[in-house]
Amino acid sequence: MSFINKELLKATKKKIDDSIELNGLLEMFDGLVISFALDYISENYSDKIPVEYQDEIILLLEAFVEGDLNKLTDASVGAIDELVNLPFANESDTAKFIAINVKMLKDFIVYLSNK
């Protein structure tokens, strides 16, 4: 059983499908492939994701579906901070380091996409 509710999973599938434009017959089938892949991953692997990371993943998916780049960036920072432990820095400095780098990456992607 997936920890991601059906509505969020459905919205995620649609957002991915709408974001990918293929030519010809491929466009007719990409939604089915995306749907199958996400259902398969959700049904077969979601139970392997530790409970402490599940809320972060839900926040990431919600921000992605909403198209809120700032919320997506903030959720990414939170998710990465949960996973990363820099042995040479305290937790506060690690969080700041991750936040700065994720936000710089976001700004770089936005810059490239507007060129």
- pLDDT tens-digit map of 9-22: 999 999 888 888 88
Are residues 53 and 79 in contact, defined by beta-carbon separation less than 8 angstroms? yes
- For residues 71 and 28, state if they share a domain: no
**Higher pLDDT among residues 108 and 6, named by residue:** 6
Provide φ and ψ at 20, rounded to 5°. -105, 120
Answer yes or no: is pLDDT of 1 > 70: no
- For residues 83 and 30, state if they share a domain: no
User: How many domains is the chain built from?
Assistant: 2
- For residues 26 and 41, state if they share a domain: yes
Which residues span the domain enclosing 17?
1-48
pLDDT at 60: 87
- For residues 61 and 109, state if they share a domain: yes
- For residues 4 and 39, state if they share a domain: yes
- For residues 34 and 61, state if they share a domain: no
Rounded Cα distance, 49 and 67, in Å: 24
- For residues 41 and 79, state if they share a domain: no
**pTM exceeding the 0.85 threshold for the entire prediction:** no
